Amino acid sequence: MSLVHEIDYGTPRVDSATTVTLTIDGRAVTVPEGTSVMRAAMEMGTEIPKLCSTDMLESFGSCRLCLVEIEGRNGTPSSCTTPVTEGMAVRTQTDRLKRLRRGVMELYISDHPLDCLTCAANGDCELQTQAGAVGLRDVRYGYDNKHPAPPKDESNPYFTYDPEKCIVCSRCVRACEEVQGTFALTIAGRGFGSVVSAGMAEEFLASECVSCGACVQACPTATLTEKSVIDIGQPEHSVVTTCAYCGVGCAFKAEMRGDEVVRMVPFKDGKANRGHSCVKGRFAWGYTNHGDRILNPMIRERISDPWREVSWDEAIGRVASEFKRIQGAYGRGAIGGITSSRCTNEETFLVQKLVRAGFGNNNVDTCARVCHSPTGYGLKTTFGTSAGTQDFDSVEHTDVVVVIGANPTDGHPVFASRMKKRLRDGAKLIVVDPRRIDLVRMPHVEADYHLALKPGTNVAVLDAMAHVIVTEGLFDEAFVHERCDWDEFQEWAAFVADPRNSPEEVEKVCGVPAETIRGAARLYATGGNAAIYYGLGVTEHSQGSTTVMAVANLAMATGNIGRPGVGVNPLRGQNNVQGACDMGSFPHELPGYRHISEDATRTIFESLWGAPLDREPGLRIPNMLDAAVEGSFRGLYIQGEDILQSDPNTHHVAAGLAAMECVVVQDLFLNETANYAHIFLPGSTFLEKDGTFTNAERRIQPVRKVMESRSGMEDWQITMAIANAMGFPMTYDHPSEIMDEVAALTPSFAGVSFDKLDRLGSIQWPCDEAAPEGTPVMHIDGFVRGKGRFVITEYIPTDERTGPRFPLLLTTGRILSQYNVGAQTRRTANAAWHQEDRLEIHPNDAEQRGIVEGDWVKLASRTGETTLRATLTERVAPGVVYTTFHHPDTQANVVTTEFSDWATNCPEYKVTAVQVAPSNGPSDWQREYEAQARASRRIAPVAEPAE
């Protein structure tokens, strides 16, 4: 296997319908108008030497190595900055050009240390390659280190900056600006004294740098180099796979040396990320080899016992015998399973199949329950499909970006970079969020409107925007007439037009000035292509499903559906939230969102699976926990999910788990839920298995095994073994066969196969006969459900109210460097950026309580309390506090309540009434919890074999 080679065409691809024909070294070539001469040459296979240009960046024209001759023009223009013209005749290889290029290269080399043999970039250095390409053999001016460079900067945990090797090509600076949009780098100084500088001449770690690595990737020399390359050496082969962190779904080349990952390089052909990445995907893969990984199956009788390592056969046998015993004693419905949005589609499909056909009930649920289940409900009700409407490319055609309840620069950073680029290019921005998220104001991006609403009032604000659109006649009547149910629209229009939904009335509820709401509504309705991007700040509310439908109403009313640049786009948190939902993880839905009570659908599954299916929906996670406490639910198989840490009201989750007789946890680490487990089955990382993930764009992408599973069993094999041990046969040899079964059973996946994924790289469902290569934009000619459905979205305040005891509102979220419950990222050097969860509190609220920066504070709600340290910031409004939930010792969910979305039970994480008070440090229960967790993780020493 060799390194996957991606050609660098020197300058970005140009999309133009008009073409131009020219000749290069006597050969004719036709390219889109606006293409550079360099790119035209590269596309026909003629390489032009270059240093300062790359196809990820706009051309800059500083190095003068790419000179060409053009008939009829004086001089030797740089090919990277010269656009093609019709009939142009270009020469790339004359003696004069060769001489000039050698001269340029000689100057570069004369100021560069000649330690190629011991340089980490040896063999992967463009300066070295281009010196060879121009035929440089002698350097008349020897390197004498006349211009000593500043010292190396090794502050970043993942890459080094060695100024001595810098050729001041500025590619890093431009990558930070154009690709990442952070503007952390500048070229400081002049002439030979020019150096790249992070921030105000700070170290990288202390600067604004977010460690995305775009500069490292762009650097043509060893100046910016991954520390892993310095430690391990140059990679020998690579495999294209998909990031296992967030729902952006970035494609990477896993570059390997033997079976060791050297680095992850964002794949330029990845349609979700277009060659970019964030700090997690590019750098935070070290957890794969972390010492905490559990690699052998383990069992124990009681959760107070130490774990005992056993063989796979014994562990699987124990799962099967315990589950059968429980079903014999308590009934078929006494056990269930939980699928994970971190696992592959194939693994998730198998778990729900095991539950439905092997356990004989529908007690299967997924962690998507606690994040995007309202998206499924809301978009299915209004549009007919439980998924976002666009691809990420769509944002390039957007004139008005609306971000509601999402923080893309932290949660979906690579998509945020694409969004920021569009905003820098002129699109308008509306942010609806209680916090002043980075997008509200950052270098070269500023929101036109920030609706800093009180948590829990999304529906009121969206209804008020609709009020403005309807009462001011800003809706798209032609679109609504043609595409939607007109009677339902009229009912909805009358509802939103009611004075109680006016911005002036809603201001009293949400705290956003009426004029701000009016301005945002007018901009959304009249600003051109308008696209809504939303996150868990929309869904994780008691009115989560209502909010999703209110968003859909706005898009339909203004005709912002069914073409590039518009749409309704849920930004999915975990890598495979979309896929977990698609694969039938909810208790009431079979794969493809078909209700379990539909006889015809069940028959299709029953005949292929050879087992009868229950027509009644099974238990959701909260119902399983309730039933466990009541005594009717006794066994649970949890694949890749840490419900103790991620689900609300931790004490209740713990009580439910503790009440069960057999909890089986399949994961990489002994997570918090495993403290209550009886059987532990070691899982595999995304690097150790084949399969697919589906990102927020409905894009199914391949996950490819780059190393053998360290535990000896891939996750799909474990589920298969449990099924077989329970007497329900499964006989797959490879995940591709599982996907073939998904395709055979699920109309929207009918055309999907691993072979096609290999050929196309990725596929956006629906993929069927009508759309054999997938569907980038949905609802183009009509809604999937037929007519778009307007739903009345009455604002009903949450029952969670502030009062004298709990006067503040807590809302939660995540941070760029960490991922969800932190199981993976806490076990990487990402800890350098975020070692603990902190409570953000407005300085006024802090002052009233005698709290100063960094103080320990007690955060209490009516369900529980925890302790963490305070950060004083005006990012949150007075009356609102905010924290992340990445660290188990904080257990932020101890304080969240059991309130949930009326339609889907998605927990109301985003609104909890709390009080904050000074504290001396971690509370008693936190200390007790930590001691108990430590005890629960004990593993009995393996007995020495007898002589």
- The residue ranges that bind ligand FES (CB under 6 A) are 50-53, 61-66, 78, 80
The entry of ligand FES, ligand SF4, none that residue 277 binds, CB within 5 to 8 Å by partner kind: ligand SF4
Per-residue mark of binding to ligand SF4, 120-159 (x: CB under 6 A): ----------------------------------------
Query: Residue type at 808?
Result: L
In the DSSP assignment, the letter for residue 946 is P
Cβ contact 698:579 at 8 Å = no
Least CB distance to ligand SF4 at residue 8 (A): 14
* Assigned token pair, 745: 């059973």
Nearer to ligand SF4, 285 or 593 (CB): 285
Q: With CB cut-offs between 5 and 8 Å by kind, which of ligand FES, ligand SF4, none does residue 869 bind?
A: none
In the list ligand FES, ligand SF4, none, the entry touching 225 (Cβ below 5 to 8 angstroms by class) is none
181's contact among ligand SF4, ligand FES, none, with CB below 5 to 8 A by partner kind, is none
Beta bridge partners of 881: 810, 841
Instruction: Name the residue nearer to ligand FES (CB basis): 37 or 906.
Output: 37
Q: Which does 63 bind (CB under 5 to 8 A by kind): ligand FES, ligand SF4, none?
A: ligand FES
x/- letters, 662..691, toward ligand SF4 (CB under 6 A): ------------------------------
Q: Which is nearer to ligand SF4, 414 or 643 (CB)?
A: 414
Confirm or reject binding of residue 562 to ligand SF4 (CB under 6 A).
no
> What does R_g of the chain's alpha carbons equal in angstroms?
29
Report the nearest approach of ligand FES to the CB of residue 62 (Å): 6
**Residue linked to tokens 């909805």:** 492
| 3-state SS string for 745-786 | HCHHHCCCCHHHHHHHCCEECCCCCCCCCCCCCCCCCCECCE
Count CB-CB contacts under 10 A for residue 69. Answer: 18
CB closer to ligand FES out of 65 and 596: 65
Is the distance from CB of 56 to CB of 268 less than 8 angstroms? yes
In three state form, how does the secondary structure of 616-627 look? Answer: CCCCCHHHHHHH
Q: Which partner from the list ligand SF4, ligand FES, none does 811 bind, CB cut-off 5 to 8 Å by kind?
A: none
Q: What is the dihedral of CA 141, 147, 148, 153, to 10 degrees?
A: -100
CB nearer to ligand FES: pick between 38 and 903 = 38
Number of residues that bind ligand SF4 (CB under 6 A): 40
CB-based contacts of 26: which residues, under 8 Å, 6+ apart? none
Site map for ligand SF4, 177-196, x if CB under 6 A?
Answer: ---x-x-xx----------x
Nearest approach in angstroms of CB 79 to ligand FES is: 6
Q: Would you say 280 and 243 are in contact if contact means Cβ atoms under 8 Å apart?
A: yes
Residues 6+ apart with CB under 8 A from 818: 825, 826, 830, 834, 884, 886
Quick one: which segment of 32-40, 170-178, 662-670, 858-866 binds ligand SF4 (CB under 6 A)? 170-178
CB of 11 to ligand FES, least distance (A): 9
Query: And the tokens for 785?
Result: 């459900």
Specify the residue, 176 or 876, whose C-beta has the smaller distance to ligand SF4.
Answer: 176
Whole-angstrom distance, CA of residue 252 vs CA of residue 273: 9
Backbone angles phi, psi at 64, to 5 degrees: 65, 25
What DSSP string runs through 143-180? ----SPPPPPB--SSSEEE-GGG-----HHHHIIIIII
Residue with tokens 């150096």: 195
Residue from 82, 228, 277, 861 in contact with ligand SF4 (CB under 6 A): 277
3-state secondary structure of 497: helix
If phi over 0 gives left and psi between -120 and 50 gives alpha, with beta otherwise, what is residue 238?
beta
763: closest CA among 538, 555, 578?
578
Minimum CB–partner distance for residue 912 and ligand SF4 (Å): 27
Residue type, 10: G
Measured from the CB atom, the residue of 293 and 412 that comes closer to ligand SF4 is 412
Residue 710 CB, nearest approach to ligand SF4 (Å): 21
DSSP collapsed to 3 states, 690-722: CEEEECCCCEEEEECCCCCCCCCCCHHHHHHHH
* Residue nearer to ligand FES on the CB measure, 52 or 577: 52
Q: How many CA atoms lie within 13 A of 30 on its CB side?
A: 4
User: Could you tell me the smallest distance in angstroms from the CB atom of residue 783 to ligand SF4?
Assistant: 29
**Identity of the residue, 220 or 691, whose beta carbon is nearer to ligand FES in the bound complex:** 220
Residues 211-230 binding ligand SF4 (CB under 6 A) are: 211-215, 218-221, 223-224
Helix (H, G, I), strand (E, B) or coil at 345: helix
Could you tell me the smallest distance in angstroms from the CB atom of residue 278 to ligand SF4? 3
Instruction: Work out what residue 180 binds among ligand SF4, ligand FES, none; the CB cut-off runs from 5 to 8 Å by kind.
Output: ligand SF4
- In the block, which residue shows the tokens 């004139």? 399
CA nearest 898: which of 888, 907, 887?
907
Q: Which of ligand SF4, ligand FES, none lies near 70, with the C-beta cut-off 5 to 8 A by kind?
A: none
Query: Using the rule CB under 6 A, which residue among 24, 57, 414, 554 binds ligand SF4?
Result: 414
- Residue 281: contacted member of ligand SF4, ligand FES, none (CB under 5 to 8 Å, by partner type): ligand SF4
Token reading at 626: 């309730």
Residue 35 beta carbon to ligand FES: minimum distance, rounded to whole angstroms: 14
Strand order in the sheet with 251-257: 237-242, 251-257, 260-266
CB of 223 to ligand SF4, least distance (A): 4
Q: Which is nearer to ligand FES, 88 or 250 (CB)?
A: 88
Restricted to residues 281-310, the positions that interact with ligand SF4 (CB under 6 A) are 281
SS3 880: strand
Look up residue 283 and give its two tokens.
């750098």
- Given candidates 209, 310, 496, 510, which one binds ligand SF4 under the rule CB under 6 A? 209
Q: Residue 212: name its binding partner from ligand SF4, ligand FES, none (Cβ under 5 to 8 Å by kind).
A: ligand SF4
Q: Give dist(CA 456, CA 464) in Å, integer.
A: 15
Candidates 22, 37, 38, 166; binder of ligand SF4 (CB under 6 A) is 166
Residues contacting 612, CB < 8 A, separation 6+:
360, 606
Mention every residue, 6+ apart, whose C-beta is less than 8 A from residue 499. Answer: 505
Q: Where are the alpha helices (DSSP H) in 476-543?
A: 477-483, 486-497, 503-510, 514-526, 536-539
Indicate which single residue of 108, 245, 609, 633 sits in contact with ligand SF4 (rule: CB under 6 A): 245
Sign (positive/negative) of CA torsion 623, 629, 630, 633?
positive
Q: How far is the CB of 107 from ligand FES (least distance, A)?
A: 13
Which residue, 62 or 471, has its beta carbon nearer to ligand FES? 62
Of 129 and 471, which CB lies nearer to ligand SF4 in the complex structure? 129
Pick one of ligand FES, ligand SF4, none as the site partner of residue 418 (Cβ within 5 to 8 A by kind).
none
Find which of ligand SF4, ligand FES, none residue 859 binds, CB within 5 to 8 Å per kind: none
**Min dist. Cβ of residue 75 to ligand SF4 (A):** 25
Q: Phi then psi for 172, rounded to 5 degrees?
A: -65, -45
Of 413, 648, 702, 864, which one interacts with ligand SF4 (CB under 6 A)? Answer: 413
Preceding peptide of 766 cis, ω within 30°: yes
Q: How far is the CB of 419 from ligand SF4 (least distance, A)?
A: 12
Question: CB of 630: closest distance to ligand SF4 in angstroms?
Answer: 39
Rounded to a whole number of angstroms, the minimum distance from the CB of residue 214 to ligand SF4 is 4
Of the chain, the end-to-end C-alpha distance in Å amounts to 44
Q: List contacts with ligand SF4 (CB under 6 A).
A: 166-172, 175-176, 180, 182, 184-185, 196, 209-215, 218-221, 223-224, 243, 245-246, 248-250, 273, 277-278, 280-281, 413-414
